[in-house]
Structure 1
């Protein structure tokens, strides 16, 4: 049992990678749209590259989205609107006519026979006006000359011209009186009808909408059928408009036929194998070319999380509407990975992610081509993200590549610019705007995963930051020493292609632990009084060694990133405090070396190795009296050789050639510091 637990503990990192691997595969396959894959790839305007294709079964030819949209527009334009006829208003108007007639045509002025005749004329005018009714507005958003008039729950089709508008009442009154040769009563009838006539016909928007929806729902999505065994397209034949529609119909029918209860598990199994192959390539790449990242489970999780995020967003958009697939800012992936790791890893992961997405996106070849080209442009153009203008310039170039690439594909497919969808270019512009979100996303990732980008390093390198300001006040000599070491280390890192910004920041903070006891370090002693003269060499060594541990504690308290704290841990490695060790040996020959050794660990990267060399050389150079070029060359060689003999660079991925280049830079820089010239032979 104990052996099993011990083995489990030793292999926990590997077990975690297995779990991460299988969980990622499961999530990606789960995100994929449910459906089979058509076994042929084809594009409009390109020759059919396979054998003659015959219809494997009967299927319907599906109408294109444009054809369906055209039919829908035609129905909308020809729709006959519905109007409601309100009989209660007619009754109300007739009652008003009865009440108002006697007031206008009084018995004092008109005889009974005249009044009966005039009343008959008025009732006739009302009958004419309200036979079909008076409408308040006949503009129903349709070009139809007819309408349905709903009267007593029955709809009858009438012409629009048969309805009167309220503005036409006066002309109807005038014409009726003219026919009946009673024009002298026009002004009286005009006043009478002006006060009582009301519109009684109104547009029924709800009923019209419902009828339109019913008609739209009856639109057929197919046009004709293809019988089994019919030749669809021959080898070498160009895929043109009609063939393209038939092939798309066959593809949709095939994918729905394949995805059945019996076949879906086989399809999912196939997807799982392909995704597993892609992700195993990523693991192999990391293990062979990025072993440091492979060993760090946090970094591996970070990479897999970003792949999952892009797959999730893209499949989500594809399920909603494949036309919006280019809105997903896939170029954020290589941009982020280059920021935290390197360009090669960023491009490799981007290509693998695009290959995974090629299973689910429409026009997969076009999509893969555009995304890979855009990813390459991202890797080549994005640099120094802490300079805000650089991100805008890069995003502009990425957007331009998308637009030019899509434009070229459209010309290949259509042969002209007639049917180009200019709205798609808006998707590319939106994609570019979302890509600008990379800056805040980098900050979020730094907080979640504890990683460090150049943007954060630039902020940490500010000597006006609170911690460095405190160092300059409490230990000005140490602060000056840190600046000198930062300059030396940065120049050396540039010479061998290491992360110069990271080295500089590490150098600025590597000695912050000296703030607790600044006078015990020679660079901060402004008088000839040395506190070490009054204490035991072992205690002196303990104070010197403790500046590493106290520096780590201080850095953690101030929330410095772990990558920066690593420089504090390793800048002395497991070397000895040699001065006090020799002093103790003079007093006590039986010295325990462990009391005079730094706790380590030894440097484990190029950057931490560079800092160890730069720190030791800069500190030792202060003891040189009247330095000359040969003297500087000799003592740099002596210090670095001593560190190599002490196996301090055993875990660092730095080569002998790179160490020689670092030594060369250190010699040149120290020569410049002391304003020396090479001594020429006489």
Structure 2
């Protein structure tokens, strides 16, 4: 009992969907378990202000957010406040002071109330009335509320002064304001400039009250003209913050040196990296879970859309899983060896083994999918002693090596071709190594180059050797009929083929002729031509039990059916299909070959013996003279069924012409269709036309006309 039989027993207890889900779940668990150690961060039991007993390096590159914020704050604090010089303030303040003097002069020009005294001089307005009028005019015509900011004593002193004194005071104050306000004055420097204008005006020869009033006006005129700009300042701070490079802890960076003190900074970095046993990080495990989910999810989606029978789909899944797990185990073993200070031994991993096995046993698409998955897993397992890191170089190496194995394995029919492919893969591996080394501009010694190249070369050869060694186990365990197995079965030295050749030479020749027809027709419609050829070799093995009862073996002997009843002849002829299937099962030939032997006659009617029996008994049942079947279930079986009849019919003809061959083929195919013999296989009418054409070409090449040479005398 092979592995497939055990799997079949499990299937009987579970539905297809449940069984498939269990397979994917187990594969996910195995994948997570294999990669778990490689992403598990190494933690250290260290205390603050203790001495490190080993050198600790960072397993990854991360940003120290706390330190980065500190540096950004320092950069922001270093930005000076931005001030904007308002040049127009000089003219505004000068105009304000000038306007005050102008209003005072205007009021003083109004020297009378319009009435005359007894001595004939105009009557002057009271000073209080002038003050009120001045303040009213200033309030109405000046934007600033100067009357509240400037004391009344200042206005009274101005109103009491004559025109000449006012003009002189006006010139002095306006000049000093204009001079000082031309300089950049910040808010904090305003008192200094007020004192400065006070001192300068105080040195003038104005009379005391007017001088004091002029000082107050000058001090009032002095304001800040270089104003703090909060928006510009904030923008410059943002620019300073953005210009700060993030503070990073680089992968491979030494965090703690052996024998050195664990200070606050070192402890903070160890804590940030999750290297302390007191606060291990769970992020690597979550990341690995996402990685496994993506891989298993992708496989699940692909298998869901894969259009084959459920049983076959599950066989593919289990086979793929086994090969994948074997590759992971090999990868893990090499990874463990690389941890023993054997640098870069990861390149010895037989990266092309799994792709070549899948290419031979399944198809190219599955092989490419597995290659990509193995490359991703390899990048984690061969992590250069830094848990959780990704080794891109080894991923590229595995990807290219596996792809080379798939593409170079063009002829899968011989085991020697696998070894040859392994040699070619070794050469490709060497080129990949040179590409990686030269691109990285690495400085290596000669002995290191030798190690690299040796590992790469051994990887290719090891892939071929393991492929050849594991192939028979998978073929036997899963009952897979690979091309290599078919080639082995086509060897004339196989015991059953030798049996046919020795005991039924006519049948052997007939089988070879049918094989030529069936193979060419299968290849023309995209079916498995090699399977058809090998199936033809064995399809009539049942005739070896009674070879003389079949016409192709009746050489120089009387036909034994002449002395038998139609029913006896029927039983003998029909039995060869069942006998052949039993013999093939006994010799453990693949199921596909057994099915061809069992199905190549379908449920067709033995017309000759049926009509012969009908001549003797009109009430004979037609069903009794039909093969038990089943009908052909595959294209290969259907094509062999037609080819078997076509070859026998054409061989019985004397010097068949092309037109006669066409008529025979058309008649046989039409008979199969009308008899519903092709209803249970997926062959189409269009493919039948291609098959008929191929049969015609092949048979015409065999039975072509020959020139008749005169007998030599």
TM range (shorter): 0.5 to 0.7
Q: Which residue of 1 aligns with 2:463?
A: 435
Task: Answer yes or no: is 1:29 the counterpart of 2:24.
Answer: no
User: Are the aligned partners of 2:39 and 2:380 in contact in 1 as well (CA < 8 Å)?
Assistant: no
Alpha-carbon distance between aligned partners in 2 of 1:399 and 1:643, rounded to the nearest angstrom: 52
Q: Which residue of 1 aligns with 2:579?
A: 550
> What SS class does the counterpart of residue 515 from structure 1 fall into?
helix
User: Are the aligned partners of 2:598 and 2:630 in contact in 1 as well (CA < 8 Å)?
Assistant: yes
1:560, distance to aligned residue in structure 2 (A): 1.9
Q: 1:370 aligns with which of 381, 397, 421?
A: 397
Q: Which residue of 2 aligns with 1:347?
A: 368
- TM-score by length of structure 1 reads 0.63
Q: Which residue of 1 aligns with 2:88?
A: none
User: Are the aligned partners of 1:490 and 1:503 in contact in 2 as well (CA < 8 Å)?
Assistant: yes
- TM-score by length of structure 2 reads 0.61
Task: Answer yes or no: is 1:303 the counterpart of 2:330.
Answer: no
Q: Which residue of 1 aligns with 2:600?
A: 571
Task: Answer yes or no: is 1:674 the counterpart of 2:703.
Answer: yes
Task: Answer yes or no: is 1:391 the counterpart of 2:421.
Answer: no
1:623, distance to aligned residue in structure 2 (A): 3.0
Alpha-carbon distance between aligned partners in 1 of 2:531 and 2:279, rounded to the nearest angstrom: 56
Alpha-carbon distance between aligned partners in 2 of 1:489 and 1:324, rounded to the nearest angstrom: 50
Q: Kindly tell me: are residues 653 and 369 of structure 1, through their superposed partners in 2, closer, same or farther at Cα, counting changes over 3 Å?
A: farther
Q: Which residue of 1 aligns with 2:454?
A: 426
Q: 1:275 aligns with which of 268, 288, 292?
A: 292
1:222, distance to aligned residue in structure 2 (A): 5.8
Give the gaps of 5 or more residues in structure 1: 1-7, 39-57, 61-216, 678-682
Alpha-carbon distance between aligned partners in 2 of 1:317 and 1:485, rounded to the nearest angstrom: 51
Alpha-carbon distance between aligned partners in 1 of 2:324 and 2:242, rounded to the nearest angstrom: 38
The residue correspondences of 1:72-471 to structure 2 (distance < 5 A) are 220-221=55-56, 229-230=66-67, 243=250, 245-246=252-253, 257=275, 271-272=288-289, 274-286=291-303, 288-289=305-306, 291-292=308-309, 295=312, 297-321=314-338, 323-362=344-383, 363-387=390-414, 389-414=416-441, 421-422=448-449, 423-437=451-465, 438-471=467-500
Q: Bigger CA drift: 550-559 or 356-365?
A: 356-365
> What SS class does the counterpart of residue 600 from structure 1 fall into?
coil
How many residue pairs end up in the alignment? 492
Give the gaps of 5 or more residues in structure 2: 1-10, 73-240, 257-267, 384-389, 707-713
> What SS class does the counterpart of residue 435 from structure 1 fall into?
helix
Q: Kindly tell me: are residues 404 and 320 of structure 1, through their superposed partners in 2, closer, same or farther at Cα, counting changes over 3 Å?
A: same
User: Are the aligned partners of 2:535 and 2:593 in contact in 1 as well (CA < 8 Å)?
Assistant: yes
Alpha-carbon distance between aligned partners in 2 of 1:333 and 1:457, rounded to the nearest angstrom: 21
1:11, distance to aligned residue in structure 2 (A): 6.4
Q: Kindly tell me: are residues 557 and 389 of structure 1, through their superposed partners in 2, closer, same or farther at Cα, counting changes over 3 Å?
A: closer
Alpha-carbon distance between aligned partners in 2 of 1:547 and 1:580, rounded to the nearest angstrom: 16
Alpha-carbon distance between aligned partners in 2 of 1:474 and 1:355, rounded to the nearest angstrom: 57
| Greater Cα radius of gyration, structure 1 or 2 | 2
> What SS class does the counterpart of residue 19 from structure 2 fall into?
helix
User: Are the aligned partners of 1:538 and 1:580 in contact in 2 as well (CA < 8 Å)?
Assistant: yes
Alpha-carbon distance between aligned partners in 2 of 1:378 and 1:248, rounded to the nearest angstrom: 43
Q: Kindly tell me: are residues 332 and 446 of structure 1, through their superposed partners in 2, closer, same or farther at Cα, counting changes over 3 Å?
A: same
Q: Which residue of 1 aligns with 2:532?
A: 503
Q: 2:551 aligns with which of 505, 522, 544?
A: 522
Alpha-carbon distance between aligned partners in 1 of 2:665 and 2:294, rounded to the nearest angstrom: 50
The residue correspondences of 1:604-643 to structure 2 (distance < 5 A) are 604-643=633-672
Alpha-carbon distance between aligned partners in 1 of 2:598 and 2:313, rounded to the nearest angstrom: 18
Alpha-carbon distance between aligned partners in 1 of 2:520 and 2:667, rounded to the nearest angstrom: 20
Alpha-carbon distance between aligned partners in 2 of 1:653 and 1:553, rounded to the nearest angstrom: 26
CA displacement 1:168-191 (0-9 Å, x = unmatched): xxxxxxxxxxxxxxxxxxxxxxxx
1:507, distance to aligned residue in structure 2 (A): 0.8
CA displacement 1:645-677 (0-9 Å, x = unmatched): 444344434444333222212111211222249
1:227, distance to aligned residue in structure 2 (A): 7.3
User: Are the aligned partners of 1:606 and 1:654 in contact in 2 as well (CA < 8 Å)?
Assistant: yes
CA displacement 1:203-235 (0-9 Å, x = unmatched): xxxxxxxxxxxxxx9664469x99763459999
> What SS class does the counterpart of residue 229 from structure 1 fall into?
helix
Alpha-carbon distance between aligned partners in 1 of 2:25 and 2:57, rounded to the nearest angstrom: 42
Alpha-carbon distance between aligned partners in 1 of 2:596 and 2:580, rounded to the nearest angstrom: 10
Q: Kindly tell me: are residues 32 and 524 of structure 1, through their superposed partners in 2, closer, same or farther at Cα, counting changes over 3 Å?
A: same
CA displacement 1:284-305 (0-9 Å, x = unmatched): 4345445158535444322211
Instruction: Tell me how large the CA RMSD over aligned residues is.
Output: 4.1
